[in-house]
Structure 1
Amino acid sequence: MSAPVRADALATLTAWRPADPGQRALREAFLGFLAARPDSCARSCEPGHLTASALVLDATGDQVLLTLHPRVGAWLQLGGHCESTDATLAGAALREATEESGIEGLTIDPVPLHVDVHPITCSLGVPTRHFDVRFLVRAPAGARETRSEESLDLRWWPLDAPPDHELDDLLAAAQIAR
């Protein structure tokens, strides 16, 4: 795995100062995991690994683009694993958002919006954890999405009326940030 993305993740999370106490506590856990595991950004790290995701808002900030994730069976933000070609965590999130949405010209706020740790059985085929760093991404005016093979469905939802409550904390953070 690319040492630059791990170094960037350490720097990005060290500099990030979330207002929410729960997010501050998770930030500390992420930093501890990054310090303990040189392979923390590689999907081969079985105890868990960092992932980068993007909450894509339309140009008005009123709509959010969500994917119906095939493994999870829920509507989620776009994102995924860091790749060896990624130099930054925000770059990985932007790459994933572009690949999964088909939208060119996305822009990303390089400051994390939210973090989350969740259990998952991903491409390793064994239970692991995703240490997900989430960024706010904006689509250009008139953007048209194209569903990728990594999604069962892809659609815009009102930011204040998502299809379920799985993303409530993340969407609340986005409403504050927009």
Structure 2
Amino acid sequence: MVDVAFASVPTPLGDVLAAVTPDGVAATSFGDGERVRAKMLGRLAATAAGDPALASPARDELAAYFAGRLTRFTVPVDWRLMSPLQRRVLGTLYETVAYGRVTTYGELAETSGSGVPARAIGSVMGSNPIPIIVPCHRVVAGNGLGGFSGGDGVDSKRWLLTLEGYLPPTLDWEL
């Protein structure tokens, strides 16, 4: 079993929880609580005995991101919850689509060389265990925003893309 430390950050989208192993951030979640933490521990086959200091860098970077002060995560990523296909597609996304930029499902299918059709890339995005840090919100449809399984769905995706400057803010938008 691996030890996991948790970091929870209050954000305008609700609490965001990160599960951090000695190898890096292995999972993030919109929402926090005993059930969310237990589910993460189960998926990681882990115990919550990790040193809380292990999660401090992830907490600090998530807080800075949501405050509009961080444009590139530097915390290590632990890819253990991803299949080889997810790792290839999400790894390509992580390495090539910067803050404030987007790619389409079709473009990501092509650049990742995964052999997955564009329509299936959405499933890979929906199964991303590390949203925000591995920025699945930056993948859009060719004719609009597309879907989003985190937080409040497309509204959360819209908020994240507004934070990053890709979408213009609405009159009621606040950090």
Mark yes or no: TM-score above 0.5: no
Q: TM-score range by the shorter chain?
A: 0.3 to 0.5
Task: Give the TM-score of the pair, scaled to structure 1.
Answer: 0.32
Task: Give the TM-score of the pair, scaled to structure 2.
Answer: 0.33
Of Structure 1 and Structure 2, the greater strand share is in 1
